[in-house]
Amino acid sequence: MTTKPVSASVSRAERGIPGVKYPERGAGLMGLIAGVSVFLVFLLFAVQLLMNLYATSSVTDAAWDGARQVAGARIDHRDPATLSVAEAAAEVRMRAELGHFAERVVFDWSETDAESVAVRVVGTTPRFGLPGMSGPLGFDRIERTVRVRIEVFR
């Protein structure tokens, strides 16, 4: 094994000889900490955004299914008792579709009229990350209103 001789122009600090003070030792540590911190903040934001999108689409899907169930032709929409029973059954189905998230939402059928069935769903999204991060961005609340025309045989 042959080694190249170290030239005299290479300083002792460049060769890594012990006992020599390195003035730039640890200079990259602060930049690394800042970079990792910014990366983690962006990662938390992305995860919160995905949680919000998933919760919103799940709530919207459940509301569409419930409103279509109540707007079906099998229900006499002129009878308020039958309509309230159908709304209650649809709400049970929607809560089953949402699973544990159903504890965070409220269903409101008050906008239903003679021509359409409307359900308004209001709830809070699950939070992941810093508590104050989702509020100012609009990720803390879901409000959806779904309106479906009543099926009528002609």
Q: What is the mean pLDDT of residues 32-49?
A: 90
Q: Which residues are within 8 A (CB) of 148 and not within 5 positions of it... i.e. 6 or more apart? A: 64, 67, 68, 70, 71, 116, 117, 118
Question: In the predicted model, what is the mean pLDDT of the chain?
Answer: 83
Amino acid letter, 65: D
Domain boundaries defined on the chain = 28-149
Q: What is the mean pLDDT of residues 18-39?
A: 77
pLDDT, tens digit (0-9, with 9 covering 90-100), for 66-90: 999 999 878 888 888 988 899 999 9
For the chain, state the CA radius of gyration: 31
- CA 133 from chain center: how many Å? 12
C-alpha closest to that of 138 among 58, 60, 55: 55
Bridge partners of residue 116, in order along the sequence? 149
- How much is the pLDDT for 68? 93
Provide the strand spans (E) within 24-140: 105-108, 116-124
pLDDT, tens digit (0-9, with 9 covering 90-100), for 5-23: 555 565 555 565 566 566 6
pLDDT category of residue 144 using cuts at 50, 70 and 90 = very high
DSSP 136: H
pLDDT, tens digit (0-9, with 9 covering 90-100), for 102-143: 999 999 999 988 889 999 999 988 877 666 655 666 778 899
- How much is the pLDDT for 35? 93
pLDDT category of residue 27 using cuts at 50, 70 and 90 = low
Cβ neighbours of 90 (radius 10 Å): 25
- How much is the pLDDT for 118? 94
Q: Residue 62 pLDDT more than 90?
A: yes
How far is CA 135 from each of CA 62, 102, 123, 127, 128, rounded to the nearest angstrom? 24, 21, 14, 10, 12
